Structure 1
């Protein structure tokens, strides 16, 4: 009888110790490293995106690039980078941790083991879920970044010197809650964007891996391609709410009551086309930045898997 009981217990416990799943700690650390790679690769184009979204003085991406370069030089292309770089580790760490938790929720709900593959709908749910915890720290970081990128000034007319100065200026002008201006707009952008982001990455990576490296490993080319295309899929649905978010976060204190008012005024004064302003630099940035992000995530995961 005892030998029979042992035979029943062992198969039930094996899936719990398999390496098929990723631990929350590894997801957190690899996501943070991937975020740093993303910021380093894509910040100049992100700056052009925000400037085009918040001003009508630029005719095109090239025009925005020329004027920004002429005005501020090469260093000016990295204005506002400190804020997202400092925030990249926790933001993307939480994003990829949230994605991992979303997958675990699906496995729990559908009684799946770590080795069972998730369906497309389950992957999409996990992607959308990742945006919820991320928004808590993404919104204030985006507020500071956008304020610095558009060259906003404080009440004395002196441009902010850096992220800390900008944060203090925002708090002085509108209070601590002002740091979280645009939180709803950020969530409105990131939930559908993350659905497209992680969904596209997993599906494209799976297709490319099955054709080249097989099930056991993932080629760097497959990671880069899937990551870059995932970034483009993200921005293809996230640009309109991102425009609204940028307008809201860089507007003078008290100008808008919320994202709805931004939308109404934009439609009245500029028309639907304004919702896609900045699409050019966003899409140009999306491929290299997110290719670097996912490559950083996958390589750091492989490295940690070898250590423990």
Structure 2
């Protein structure tokens, strides 16, 4: 997002708040570049996300179908082939474009809120504390956009049986029709509380960790400089690609690990059958049922593979977004 947004004492001219671009143009850039970065990241992470959802959504009171991520990969590929891991990717690709562009857009709006509050003047870079807030702000609003998309994705990834009838692989269209038929528009926001908790807390960590790691790299690079001229040059340049990748990877790993239990409960809610005899559980009811059945360990089922896949995905998202902002200004 802001790979050049923090140094020790030297402000970075290229990243200072500016009025050279109109607000409308900034919005267009956030939406366009954020969408592109999100799509690239989704192609990288989607097979791992499918495995994660299947591990999270194993039913109560039945023996676990998968012993772990590798076993889930093996069974999934044996049953459906490699392409089966990409089942339902059309909705997530759309969702990734919406999610990432919304995150960068709402993060920008969050910064405007901070400036308007008087916490920080516009002629200075935001401190890290404010950037953690803008991340939470972005995640809270993005959750409203993301919940319906994730609900459709989860139901396609993990077909549910209804009243004992063996599941069949649904299409995106059939899922949308079924949810609307049985639960109306409100049904698309089933699991909203879990998405809200994951996104608001996770995105605070996503943006915050990215900016914190970026600042540390700038400090290290500045200390290695032998002259003031070299320090000034480093302060106005983008970080080396490997440092950008590490900063982005740290963001993704923080996002996924810290609020993974909320995502687990959400996935279980969103993979419940539509139109069956069972009534949908609330967030608290689903969490209580999971705790009673599997304890704390159940909330972290699939966490390892999720954190692992988030590192390259998040690294690419930030590198693509920052690269487009830097080299293709509109």
Normalised-by-shorter TM-score class: 0.7 to 0.9
Other-structure match for 1:120? 128
Deviation string, structure 1 residues 233-277 (Cα, Å, up to 9, x no partner): 011112100000001111124433310000111111221110111
Which residue, 230, 236, 244 being the options, matches 1:223?
244
1:3-31 deviations in whole A, cap 9, x for unaligned? xxxxxxxxxxx975357x99233222222
For residue 215 of structure 2, what is the aligned residue in structure 1? 206
> Counterpart of 1:106?
114
Return the offset for 1:159: 2.7
CA contact (8 A) 1:16 1:113 kept: no
Structure 2 counterpart of 1:52: 55
* 1:273 and 2:297 are equivalent in the alignment: yes
Q: Does 1:87 align with 2:95?
A: yes
Equivalents in 2 of 1:214, 1:303: separation in Å?
A: 18
Q: Residue 324 of structure 2 aligns with which residue?
A: 300
Q: Secondary structure at the match of 1:232?
A: helix
More helix by share: 1
Return 5+ residue gaps in structure 1 as ranges. 1-13
Q: Of the candidates 72, 76, 88, which is equivalent to residue 68 of structure 1?
A: 76
Q: Counterpart of 2:41?
A: 38
- Counterpart Cα distance in 1 of 2:20 and 2:116: 16
139, 145, 148: which one aligns with 1:131? 139
Larger displacement relative to structure 2 (122-131 or 78-87): 78-87
CA distance in 2, matches of 1:143, 1:293: 23
**Other structure's SS at 2:243 match:** helix
Structure 2: distance between partners of 1:169 and 1:256: 14
Is the deviation greater in 280-289 or in 161-170? 161-170
With over 3 angstroms needed to count, the CA separation of the structure-2 counterparts of 1:111 and 1:122, relative to structure 1, is closer
User: Are 2:259 and 1:238 aligned?
Assistant: yes
Q: Distance in 1 between matches of 2:173 and 2:144?
A: 18
Helix, strand or coil: the match of 1:215? helix
Q: Using the alignment, how far apart are the partners of 1:173 and 1:295 within structure 2?
A: 42
CA distance in 2, matches of 1:53, 1:255: 20
The structural deviation recorded for 1:161 is 4.1
For residues 196 and 121 of structure 1, the distance between their equivalents in structure 2, rounded to whole angstroms, comes to 11
Structure 2 residues without counterparts, runs of 5 or longer: 1-15, 59-63, 222-232
Structure 1 distance, partners of 2:315, 2:271, is 29
The verdict on how the C-alpha distance between 1:288 and 1:246 changes in structure 2, with shifts beyond 3 A counting, is same
Corresponding residue of 1:24: 27
- What is the alpha-carbon distance in structure 2 between the residues aligned to residue 211 and residue 184 of structure 1? 40
Mapping for residues 128-207 of structure 1, pairs under 5 Å = 128-152=136-160, 159-207=168-216
Aligned counterparts of 2:299 and 2:105: Cα–Cα separation in 1: 31
CA RMSD of aligned residues (A): 2.3
* Equivalenced residues, count: 292
Contact 2:162 2:273 in 1 (8 A): no
Aligned equivalents of 2:279, 2:249: Cα separation in 1 = 37
Looking at structure 1, the residues matched to 281 and 119 of structure 2 have their Cα atoms a distance apart, in angstroms, of 44
Counterpart contact for 1:240–1:276, Cα < 8 Å: yes
